[in-house]
Amino acid sequence: MTTTSFDSALANLGIKRTGASTANTPTADTSQQMDQNDFLTLMTAQLKNQDPFEPVDNSQMVAQMAQFSSLAGISEMNSTLKAISERLGSTTTTDMMSWVGRTVLTPGNVAYPRTDGSLGGTIDLGADATNVTVTIEGPNGAILKSIELGAQSKGSFDFEWDGTTDTGEAAGAGPFTIRTAARNADGGSVTATPLVWAPVTAVTIGSDGSPLLTLPGIGQVSANSVRKVG
């Protein structure tokens, strides 16, 4: 970047514009923004070098002060909003510790029933489907129940199982494996991802410093994969 007349004018006032360079001094920063200090220095230089017989008009001075005040307020607001955004967008280990003993909804295909033997979950569809089927398998891999859910739209929807097999008997305490299948109008396969409810038994810290939840039958999952907390 070559030195411009604007850069020279700023240099005469003792200001080096961020990103400006001379022929002998290269720089890696190409930012063209001026900060509050530059603005204040320019305004001070204007006052020091004004014609005493023709001083700056009061209305112009008030307008410049208002601009400076607005600049300072916007900068402070941006910093505050950034801090709030980072806090809301992150999940701390302390937050995760409160999840121990509670149930979470997360992608997975192994689930345990409720105390009454029933089981609920969610399916994520990648596209509209003319028919969705959920198959429940027992611990030994035997098919216990097939549930036809019919046509479903793209997105997430819940399903329920009363805990009984196709023959009407109680399926037991599990764990159960959830299989999903979906087809579109042309007979093609549609992505159908099962999400199950599982209790959080422990919270650990991963190698990257993010919290990991330990879920029975599923293993360790990232806190970011949790859809709901029960």
Q: Closest Cα partner for 223 from 99, 75, 73?
A: 99
Domain boundaries, the chain: 5-88, 94-229
Per-residue pLDDT, averaged over 31-53, amounts to 67
Question: Rounded to two decimals, what is the model's pTM?
Answer: 0.57
Q: What is the pLDDT of residues 46-91, one digit of tens each?
A: 777 766 666 666 676 667 666 666 766 676 777 777 766 555 445 5
Report the distance separating Cα 164 and Cα 172, nearest Å.
Answer: 8
Label residue 217 left, alpha or beta by phi (over 0 means left) and psi (-120 to 50 means alpha).
left
- 200-209 mean pLDDT: 84
Q: Residue 145: what residue type?
A: K
State residue 31 phi and psi, 5-degree precision.
-65, 140
Let me know: does 223 contact 212? Beta carbons within 8 Å: yes
Helices assigned H by DSSP within the chain = 5-12, 36-48, 58-88, 93-97
DSSP 20: -
Q: What's the CATH architecture for 94-229?
A: Sandwich (2.60)
Highest mean pLDDT among 40-44, 82-86, 153-157: 153-157
pLDDT-derived band of residue 159, with 50, 70 and 90 as boundaries?
very high
Q: What are phi and psi of 33, to 5 degrees?
A: -90, 145
Compute the radius of gyration of the chain from its Cα atoms. Answer: 32
The pair of structure tokens assigned to 223 is 């806190």
